[in-house]
Amino acid sequence: MSTAQRYQPIKTTKPVVGKARKLKDLMQRGDNRVCADCSAPDPKFASSNIGVFLCLKCGDVHRALGPDISNILSVTLDDWSDTDIDSMVEVGGNSYANSIYEAFLPKDHPKPKPDSPMEYRTEFIRAKYEIQDFLKPSLRITSKSGFESTNSVKSDDSSFSKRVPEDTREFVGKLNITVVKGTQLAVRDMLTSDPYVVLTLGEQKALTTVKASDLNPIWNEVLNLSVPRNYGPLKLEVYDHDTFSADDIMGEAEIDLKPMITAAMAFGDPSFHADMQIGRWFMTRDNCLLTDSIVNIVSGKVKQEVYLKLQNVESGEMELELEWARLD
Ligand SMILES: [Zn+2]
């Protein structure tokens, strides 16, 4: 590779404008605008095989682990191959990678901060990616014979997709969503509101009943949606029922289903497993979570409690419980 080629920005390399665009879109997502390891803002590096965006300091630690463990590229300077971009896009960035690599991060093992000393940063990064201490036990790739560097979250995923290449079903599973309650919902009719919840997944919608004059409604209603193979986020909207005019919106939120569904699929039949944590959807500045949302196996079922702050409204929080049900 010539020097001239090497220092061109990615958007001008090769006829990969479409792919480069995908990478840029991924970079601009909220969770990817901070370092996956130390949360420093505006990360300028990426590990293409792990699928995370990193700051200069963490990138240096990764680079020292060697490209078999972490293949570090500059997001602006390096000549990215199609494979590197595909790999990055396939993992889906920091939140998703961290939901795997930090699923079992102990409370007494805090992540490094942007100004943490190099020793702690190095110790954490090696524990996270090389020893894989925080991964769920069945995914760990360390063995008595030592580290096998060919494995990664991505190859784990692709081995999953290789097992089901003929899967042409329209739906991959079902979600039973308990709309538990709302708190401090917004006022829309003089002093109160008559709220109901609408959940949308792709083309499907499900509605709760209307709770008359209640800003802290308790629904405890279970709504069911089928999950299509190429599912997007689950959209939640709260409306004020108005008999005489169009219903007013009282806030909305988006729920990322990927942490739950990916973990559920990786674990297979949950009834074979004891109660345990299998994944996590992390709270970030750009999502509507009030707290990290943990995916658990509880009594043979995959469940996730979600606490949301409603967006585009003056106040309101929602509590849901999701349950994943396999189709087969
Ligand atoms: Zn960092």
pLDDT at 151: 40
CA of residue 126 to ligand 1 center, whole Å: 13
- CATH fold of 13-154, please? Annexin V; domain 1 (1.10.220)
CA of residue 53 to ligand 1 center, whole Å: 9
pTM for the structure as a whole: 0.54
Pick the closest to residue 255 from 287, 300, 299, 290 (CA basis).
287
Whole-number average pLDDT of the chain: 83
Which overall architecture, per CATH, does domain 171-326 show?
A: Sandwich (2.60)
| Consecutive H or E run containing 120 | helix 118-125
| Domains of the chain, residue spans | 13-154, 171-326
Using the predicted structure, report yes or no on whether residue 222 has a pLDDT greater than 50.
yes
Percentages helix, strand, coil for the chain, rounded to the nearest 5? Answer: 30, 30, 40
Mean of pLDDT values over 119-134: 90
Residue of higher predicted confidence among 169 and 15: 169
CA of residue 49 to ligand 1 center, whole Å: 17
Give me the numbers of helices (H) and strands (E) for the chain, helices first please: 8, 15
In angstroms, the CA 55 to CA 47 distance is 11
| SS3 at position 229 | coil
CA of residue 259 to ligand 1 center, whole Å: 22
